Amino acid sequence: MSEASERLSPSRLRGRDVLRVGAAGLRARPARVFLSALGIAIGIATVVGVIGISSSSREDLLRQLDRLGTNLLTVEAGQTMFGGETRLPTGSLDMVRRIAPVTTAAATGSVDATVRRTGMISENVTGGIAVRAADGELLTTLEGEMRSGTWLNAATGRYPAVVLGSVAAERLGVTRPGVQVWIGGRWFTVVGTLGALPLAPEIERSALVGFEAAARYLGFDGHPTTIYERSADAAVEAVRDVLPRTVNPENPEEVNVSQPSDALVAKAAAAGAFTNLMLGLGAVALLVGGVGVANTMVISVLERRKEIGLRRSLGATRGQVRTQFLAESLLLSVLGGAAGAVLGALATFGYATSKDWPAVVPSWAFGGAVGATLVIGTVAGLYPAMRAARLPPTEALATT
């Protein structure tokens, strides 16, 4: 008796055997496995893609901020305590330039005129383009670049010459310098067009003439509308505090100071809300995929009752049967999760490339995808596995 006991040992299912048996169960139903894995793949692809695109957008924003700087401040006229309009003093730009930490400053002033390709076009058709008087230091202060031609200088700033913002040039159909446009009842020659200015979108939609030319030909009164200034990064807050009192010592409350880079940060925050919505949709897709996996495994248990009975009669324990079906569920989920992660990464790279963004897919997104698939596989396969383990061998073998 003791010798027989020594020869008999409980059956064992090693890790390699679990994978082989689980994979064999999936290979027996390829179409059903594909459709079930597809649900998981769509959910994981949505989550990874949304995280990747959001991260790529955020990285592009950070690079823009690094390139453009966060030390640009703008000064504009506010309102009186009774809601009336105010104007910045004519000498306010010089006063701003006297602030010690300020490295460069420039101003623009609104001009009561319209810009059109010819005088035959109605004055009401403005195309959303404003005419502004511009200081010669504006391009340096905004750290902008010329798309074509040259910026206003001491000579062109006195005569009917104009520089068009990038959007203004597109709306007017101007692609090169030398073209003439109709401003304030006379022709102005386009001497250049600007590149994009993310921190000053109002300049992109403007036709810019020199202060002297604006006063001589367009009746500009000399009051700046907006002052742009840059200072050392460490001094931005200090300069921001003294700007209102410097520009308008008598009524500093009538001066508005803003930081254009805040608009980019707000844009990222708005995009984050959209990202959360898409992540919610991805979670719903994952839930649907998990239900599909659970349904597949339940049907598999019903169809393979004879196999379960045979394995039990040959010595397989309930735990081993449970492990087998749980392994099938996990493999099915991991298969869909891996495919979804690849699809999500490809979608991120494709979208980021189309937008000229740096493609970024955080490593934690892949880790989260793997963790999500393991959780889904475990939850979806737990009930079918337990149901299979509870089947009595005789009852399972008797199934027709």
For the chain, count helices (H), then strands (E): 14, 11
| pTM of the model as a whole | 0.62
Tell me which residue of 252, 255, 247, 250 sits closest to 94, measured CA to CA.
247
Q: Residue 116: what residue type? A: R
Q: Which of 215-219, 266-270, 369-373 has the lowest mean pLDDT?
A: 266-270
Q: List C-alpha distances in Å: 240 to 98, 102, 211, 224, 259.
A: 14, 11, 26, 18, 9
Q: How many Å apart are CA 373 and CA 219, to the nearest integer?
A: 69
Confidence of residue 378 (pLDDT cuts 50, 70, 90): confident
Tens-digit pLDDT profile for residues 263-308? 666 665 555 555 666 667 667 766 776 777 777 777 766 666 666 6
**Mean pLDDT computed over 1-12:** 51
Q: What are phi and psi of 131, to 5 degrees?
A: -105, 130
Q: How many Å apart are CA 133 and CA 140, to the nearest integer?
A: 16
Q: Is the pLDDT of residue 163 over 90?
A: yes
**Mean pLDDT computed over 101-113:** 93
For residue 223, the model assigns a pLDDT of 92
**Mean pLDDT computed over 232-259:** 88
**Mean pLDDT computed over 330-354:** 87
**Averaged pLDDT score across all residues of the chain:** 81
Residues above pLDDT 90, as percent of the chain: 31
Confidence of residue 2 (pLDDT cuts 50, 70, 90): very low
Residue matched to tokens 């995808």: 369
Confidence of residue 394 (pLDDT cuts 50, 70, 90): low
Q: List C-alpha distances in Å: 31 to 27, 37, 109, 304.
A: 9, 10, 69, 17
Q: Are 224 and 89 in contact (CB under 8 A)?
A: no
Tens-digit pLDDT profile for residues 119-149? 888 877 778 899 999 999 999 999 899 999 9
For residue 157, the model assigns a pLDDT of 92
**Mean pLDDT computed over 28-50:** 78
For residue 237, the model assigns a pLDDT of 87
Q: Are 225 and 211 in contact (CB under 8 A)?
A: no
Q: Is the pLDDT of residue 165 over 70?
A: yes
Confidence of residue 1 (pLDDT cuts 50, 70, 90): very low
- Of all helices (H) and strands (E), which one includes residue 241? helix 236-247
For residue 211, the model assigns a pLDDT of 95
